[in-house]
Amino acid sequence: MIENRPGLNAMAHLVLILGVVVVGLPLWVAFVASTHTATDFMSGTVPMWPGPHLVENYSLMLERGVSTSGTPPVARMMLNSLIMALLIACGKIAISITSAFAIVYFRFPLRGLAFWCIFVTLMLPVEVRIVPTFQVVAGLGLLNSYAGLSVPLIASATATFLFRQVFLTMPDELVEAARIDGAGPMKFFRDILLPLSRTNMAALFVILFIYGWNQYLWPLLVTTDSQYYTIVAGIKRMADAVDGLPQWHLVMATAVLAMLPPVAVVIGMQRLFVKGLVETEK
């Protein structure tokens, strides 16, 4: 749409700038807070410009953490979050692409039932089945482990449906050509389907990585050993200072650090992400 109306243009910019301010201001406040000392924030006036304690605060958090809140150094928590997010993203992609392959390309008995079972999991996210899931994970002895953190979040239907849709758009002739070329089902999967779904996998990876990174309730439940704390759950624990004022400058430094990896993933994979969502040519 191309319109040459200056008023409309200014209006559009105004709306967009407002949006940027709404999103950006809290981020700015968090950043500013993380560069001051604890007392600056309790003084009554909130500083709007960065203070001199940036390096000090961040290195303190990365290396030692806050002993009073019982959290390990932020570097450790970020590593835990990274491992969990990667396990969830990769696990979900692996499971859903194979199940979509089975559903689309094989005619097996009870195929319809299998499809509906996967479909039903859409209605049962972790939050809904959290008590029984906790029971199962505890029974398997997976509390305080990376497996316990990620496995219950891996099984889900959304990604399966995405891949099913991708596979359904693959021309039948491609399957037939591969059959004539002597490619068995697994070979077809590896040589043709996987490379052709590459951009879709990348797009899904971005979404799932952020989904995994932002997990809050589940890690809070299954980790009691501080060695397995994830960063999002860790921030909550830090803010809950029992015997004293929350050290907001340190909490904010942690929050800023926690934001960086998802931002890096989005920026790094932006091109593939967009391609994977809009590309239709096969």
Query: Cα separations (Å) of 104 from 44, 113, 161, 221, 230?
Result: 62, 14, 10, 37, 37
Minimum gap (Å) between residue 217 Cβ and another protein: 40
- Is 179 one of the binding residues for another protein (CB under 8 A)? yes
- Is 225 one of the binding residues for another protein (CB under 8 A)? no
Binds another protein (CB under 8 A): choice among 75, 196, 210, 259: 196
- Is 195 one of the binding residues for another protein (CB under 8 A)? yes
- Is 183 one of the binding residues for another protein (CB under 8 A)? yes
Minimum gap (Å) between residue 197 Cβ and another protein: 10
Q: Which range touches another protein (CB under 8 A), out of 26-34, 36-44, 189-197, 237-245? A: 189-197
Q: Which range touches another protein (CB under 8 A), out of 115-123, 157-165, 179-187, 253-261? A: 179-187
Binds another protein (CB under 8 A): choice among 63, 181, 225, 279: 181
Residue type, 176: E
- How big is the chain by its Cα radius of gyration, in Å? 24
Q: What is the widest separation between alpha-carbon atoms in the chain?
A: 77
User: Which letter, b or e, does each residue of 141-176 get, where b requires 16 or more Cβ atoms within 10 Å of its Cβ?
Assistant: ebbebeebbbbbbbbbbbbbbbbbebbeebeeeebe
Cα 53 from Cα 250, distance rounded (Å): 11
Cα 47 from Cα 91, distance rounded (Å): 44
- Is 168 one of the binding residues for another protein (CB under 8 A)? no
Both tokens of residue 162?
A: 């995405």
Q: Which range touches another protein (CB under 8 A), out of 37-45, 60-68, 75-83, 171-179? A: 171-179
Binds another protein (CB under 8 A): choice among 8, 11, 15, 177: 177
177/245 with CB nearer another protein = 177
Count of residues that bind another protein according to CB under 8 A: 19
* Window 135 to 154, contacts with another protein (CB under 8 A): none
**CB-based contact 137:228 (threshold 8 Å):** no
Query: Cα separations (Å) of 256 from 91, 121, 190, 245?
Result: 27, 34, 40, 20
* Window 35 to 74, contacts with another protein (CB under 8 A): none
Both tokens of residue 77?
A: 């928590």
Q: Which range touches another protein (CB under 8 A), out of 114-122, 123-131, 188-196, 208-216? A: 188-196
Both tokens of residue 215?
A: 């997990």
- Binding site residues, another protein, CB under 8 A: 171, 173-174, 176-183, 187, 191-192, 195-196, 198, 281-282
